[in-house]
């Protein structure tokens, strides 16, 4: 984890300054920020407001169309018609319309061993920041293992379970969904990779596996791409995931 050297300690005259710095360097939480009377210091308050604004932006902004095109992803939308509907009714982000199903059956490779899905989820920032580095490594890793990869798809307003519908429609053996996670005040860039074998609509959450905390201060995207390829190989061989595969 990256130390917090970019943040200045707000504690004046700490009794054990080295210990305080070790604690601050161990995680990104707001500790040792000090105070002015009963109120937070101005710098602390401004940083809090900045991080909160970044978190809101991650949820409400959209993944640029140019990025989707540069990554050579087929772009579709979940059943949600707008960001407002997506946030208010999560079930709409977990499924696709019959029209979208027909389109992907027409435009995408059928019956692949691996289907890659990218979804904005609750952080478009996470997709923008991590997927351009992660996806090439993942593709290379799957190619090295001789796995047949379908046409990668981007789902706007997509949640984790949308990969069940897409994987089932395309007849994929295994699916991975790279999803922007709910942002916090420590990072707005966290991405997760969810996996499912033999996807089917309405599949149980317990049948899914996950690698989470993918971002520059967690699992770096390049490292995550290699790890995801390895998990997909294991998943295809085992033909089951989640608790059935022995994941906690």
Whichever domain contains 231, its CATH number is 3.40.50.11240
What's the pLDDT at 162? 97
Q: Is 113 a member of any domain? A: yes
What's the pLDDT at 168? 96
CA angle 28, 182, 197 (to 5 degrees): 115
Q: Yes or no: say if 27 and 49 are a contact pair by the CB < 8 Å rule.
A: no
What's the pLDDT at 2? 42
- The radius of gyration computed from the CA coordinates of the chain, to the nearest angstrom, equals 20
Q: Does the global pTM surpass 0.85?
A: yes
Q: Is 132 a member of any domain? A: yes
Q: Which phi-psi region, left, alpha or beta, contains residue 146 (left: φ > 0; alpha: ψ -120 to 50)?
A: left
pLDDT digits (tens, 9 = 90+) for 6-15: 456 778 888 8
Q: How many distinct structural domains can be found in the chain?
A: 1
Binding-site residue positions for adenosylcob(III)alamin: 160, 181
Q: Is 227 a member of any domain? A: yes
* Cβ within 8 Å of residue 231, ≥6 positions away: 193, 195, 209, 211
What's the pLDDT at 248? 53
pLDDT digits (tens, 9 = 90+) for 128-165: 999 999 999 999 999 999 999 999 999 999 999 999 99
Residue span of the structural domain in which 172 resides: 65-244
What's the pLDDT at 8? 61
How many Å is the maximal CA-CA distance in the chain? 68
- Local mean pLDDT, 10-residue blocks, the chain (248 residues): 53 85 84 86 90 94 96 97 95 96 96 97 97 98 96 97 97 97 90 95 87 94 97 85 59
Q: Is 12 a member of any domain? A: no
Binding-site residue positions: 160, 181
Q: Yes or no: say if 190 and 181 are a contact pair by the CB < 8 Å rule.
A: yes
Q: Is 78 a member of any domain? A: yes
Which residues lie across from 195 on neighbouring strands?
A: 176, 209
35 phi, psi to nearest 5 deg? -160, 165
């Amino acid at each position: 984890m990256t130390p917090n050297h970019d943040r200045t300690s707000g504690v004046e005259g700490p009794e054990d300054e080295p210990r305080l710095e070790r604690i601050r360097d161990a995680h990104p939480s707001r500790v040792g920020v000090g105070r002015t009377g009963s109120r937070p210091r101005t710098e602390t308050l401004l940083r809090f407001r900045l991080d909160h604004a970044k978190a809101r932006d991650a949820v409400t902004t959209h993944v640029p169309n140019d990025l989707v095109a540069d990554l050579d992803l087929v772009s579709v939308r979940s059943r949600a018609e707008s960001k407002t509907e997506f946030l208010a009714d999560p079930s709409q982000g977990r499924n696709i319309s019959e029209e979208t199903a027909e389109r992907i059956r027409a435009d995408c490779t059928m019956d692949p061993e691996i289907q890659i899905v990218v979804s904005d989820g609750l952080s478009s920032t996470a997709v923008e920041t991590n997927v351009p580095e992660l996806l090439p490594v993942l593709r290379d890793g799957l190619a090295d293992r001789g796995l047949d990869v379908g046409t990668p798809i981007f789902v706007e307003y997509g949640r984790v379970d949308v990969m069940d519908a897409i994987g089932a429609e395309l007849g994929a053996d295994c699916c991975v969904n790279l999803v922007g996670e709910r942002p916090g005040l420590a990072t707005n860039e966290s991405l997760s990779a969810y996996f499912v074998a033999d996807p089917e609509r309405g599949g149980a959450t317990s049948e899914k596996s996950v690698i989470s905390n993918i971002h520059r201060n967690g699992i770096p995207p390049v490292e995550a791409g290699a790890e995801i390829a390895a998990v997909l190989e294991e998943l295809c061989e085992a033909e089951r995931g989640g608790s059935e595969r022995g994941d906690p």
